[in-house]
Amino acid sequence: MFMNIISDIEKDMMKNNLPDFKAGDTVKVHVKIKEGEKERIQIFQGIVISKRKGTTNATFTVRKISYGIGVERIFLLHSPIIDKIEVISIGNVRRAKIYYL
């Protein structure tokens, strides 16, 4: 009974309009940034290097090169701060986790 309540709450929190992507794909993540009372959208574009599945705690890691420095950011897949995710290009990799980039 308790597990049914938890699964019902998790279903309400999950997003349904997410694109299908995997490690190696180039994605553009639109993130809501709140500065004081204003809210704006910041775009983080890079290559997905890992994706961890789960219910509401699923995460994915995106890596990009900014001014010659590698930047990695971990996002919660069903987070309310993610506005949308766009798949820019499909990658052709043989590994599920490409930490060697």
pLDDT digits (tens, 9 = 90+) for 45-80: 999 999 998 778 899 999 999 999 999 999 999 999
* pLDDT score, position 23: 95
Q: Environment class of residue 60 by beta-carbon count within 10 Å: exposed (0-12), middle (13-18) or buried (19+)?
A: buried
d(CA 79, CA 14): 8
Q: In terms of residue numbers, what domain contains 38?
A: 2-89
Whether 74 is in a domain gets the answer yes
CATH number at residue 62: 2.30.30.790
Domain count, the chain: 1
pLDDT digits (tens, 9 = 90+) for 4-44: 888 888 777 788 888 999 999 999 999 999 999 999 999 99
101: nearest Cα among 44, 67, 59, 61: 61
